[in-house]
Amino acid sequence: MNKIQIGEHAGIVWNKLKDNRHWEYDELKKATGLTDRDLNAAIGWLAREDKIDFDMDEHGDRIFLTVNVYIG
């Protein structure tokens, strides 16, 4: 695994999260077809860029897209 692959995997995850749905980890893993290692690296990439967020409900942790709008 290298930075290019992680970035590509982050793009795959980003495209799934564009539907504004709150995804459970296992659902996102199945939808992307990524391994745990690859999905976790992609999530870390997007989290570091402040592009995703996490919440907790009765189903556990969910991952969703954070929309950042900068005007200026």
Please report whether residue 17 resides in a domain. Answer: yes
**What pLDDT sits at residue 63?**
72
Please report whether residue 72 resides in a domain. Answer: no
Please report whether residue 20 resides in a domain. Answer: yes
| Burial of 12: CB neighbours in 10 Å, binned 0-12, 13-18, 19+ | middle
Domain with 35 in it: 3-65
Please report whether residue 71 resides in a domain. Answer: no
Phi and psi (nearest 5°) for 66? -105, 125
**69 band by pLDDT with thresholds 50, 70 and 90:** very low
Q: In the chain, how many domains are there?
A: 1
51: domain CATH number is: 1.10.10.10
Please report whether residue 10 resides in a domain. Answer: yes
- Summarize pLDDT for 3-37 with one digit per residue, the tens: 999 999 999 999 998 887 888 888 899 999 999 99
Q: State percent of the chain over pLDDT 70.
A: 82
